[in-house]
A and B are shown apart, each in its own frame.
Chain A
Amino acid sequence: MTEVEVDMELDCSGQSCPLPVLKTKKAMDNMESGQILRMVSTDPGAVSDMDAWTKHTGNELVASDVAGPEYVFYMRKK
């Protein structure tokens, strides 16, 4: 497990594309710059999608556990 200090948690278990991305964006909107969101997804597509989303939006994918069946993403708001 990755050790990161987390400011907000988001559980997207059981949700398909594009919900993990949309809910991550909504959660991030309510966070301060520099804070870390921990998002959990069971969608294998989220591995590639969260990478793309963070790259495009400028938020930072600090760490991720992508062994499955739960995929965990730690993202820092820019």
Chain B
Amino acid sequence: MSEQAPKKMAIIASKGTLDWAYPPFILASTAAAMGMEVKIFFTFYGLPLLKRDLKPAVSPLGNPSMPMKMPFGPKFFQGINWPIPNLVTSNVPGFETVATGLMKKTFKNKGVATIGELRDMCLEFDVELIGCQMTMDVFGFELGEFIEGVNIGGAATFLEFAAEADIQLFV
């Protein structure tokens, strides 16, 4: 395995919520740890994952599969899945902040790395992070808002690498 040219993985990260930020960073850091050459193309709502000020949130609204559980209290209490209607998740101010806080706490309790930690690992393992120029223009992002080491490119930049990649994923 190791004597051959390294395998390549190309990922498109198009979602920026806390839950969807995990797959690209987990897979990219792990692939790089396995010796693969990895590039992630951040586009649309995935682009804010490149910001220095990383604040991914999560919303249970319109996501009936998302378990709403409490990360504290006795075990039976933590096991309860709270059925919270859309009427509440959409109308109670700050509900997303609460849901995001609960999910972060749950992840921490379970020993899951933060998005920031996984992103740092990606950089340390030489994963190339590419920001979508068009999305920057549309949403008004400046290169200065992003972490060091981010490259900027477009569809052709991604496709040139993806065409040679062994694994291509759209997240």
Additional 18 contacts, C-beta under 8 A, given A19-B113, A25-B34: A15-B111, A15-B113, A16-B110, A16-B113, A17-B26, A18-B29, A18-B30, A18-B113, A22-B29, A22-B121, A22-B125, A26-B124, A43-B111, A53-B34, A57-B34, A58-B1, A58-B2, A78-B2
B residues with a Cβ closer than 8 A to A are: 1-2, 26, 29-30, 33-35, 110-113, 118, 121, 124-125
Q: Quick check: is A8 within 8 A (CB to CB) of the other chain?
A: no
Q: What's the nearest-Cβ distance from chain A to residue B153, in Å?
A: 26
Among candidates B1, B26, B112, B121, residue contacting A56 with C-beta atoms closer than 8 Å: B1
Nearest residue, chain A, Cβ from B117: A19
Asked if B2 contacts A21 (CB within 8 A), the reply is: no
User: Who on chain B is nearest to A55 by CB?
Assistant: B1
A34 interface residue, CB < 8 Å from B?
no
Residue ranges of A at the interface with B (Cβ–Cβ < 8 Å): 14-19, 21-22, 24-26, 43, 52-53, 55-58, 78
Could you tell me the distance between the alpha carbons of A55 and B111 in the complex, rounded to whole angstroms? Answer: 25
- Residues of the A chain whose Cβ atoms lie less than 8 Å from the Cβ of B1: 55-58
Q: Tell whether A18 pairs with B26 under 8 Å between CB atoms, given A25-B33, A53-B33, A78-B2.
A: yes
Chain A, Cβ-Cβ closest to B112: A16
Most chain B CB within a 10 A radius of its CB, from A14, A24, A25: A25
Interface of A is mostly: helix
Q: How far is the CA of A77 from the CA of B125 in the complex (A)?
A: 18
Mostly, the B contact residues are loop
Q: Are B30 and A57 in contact (CB under 8 A)?
A: no
| Residue numbers in B under 8 Å from A57 (CB-CB) | 1-2, 34-35
Residues of B close to A21: CB separation below 8 A: 30, 33-34
A25: min CB distance to chain B, Å: 4
Are B125 and A25 closer than 8 Å at their CB atoms? yes
Q: Which residue of B lies closest to A14 (CB)?
A: B111
The answer to whether residues A19 and B111 also contact, given A57-B1, A58-B2 and a CB cut-off of 8 A, is: yes
Residues in A with CB closer than 8 Å to B35 are 56-57
Q: How far is the CA of A25 from the CA of B1 in the complex (A)?
A: 16
Query: Within 8 Å CB of B29, what residues of A?
Result: 18, 22
For the complex formed, measure the closest distance between the CB of A69 and the CB atoms of chain B, giving whole angstroms. 13
- For the complex formed, measure the closest distance between the CB of A75 and the CB atoms of chain B, giving whole angstroms: 13
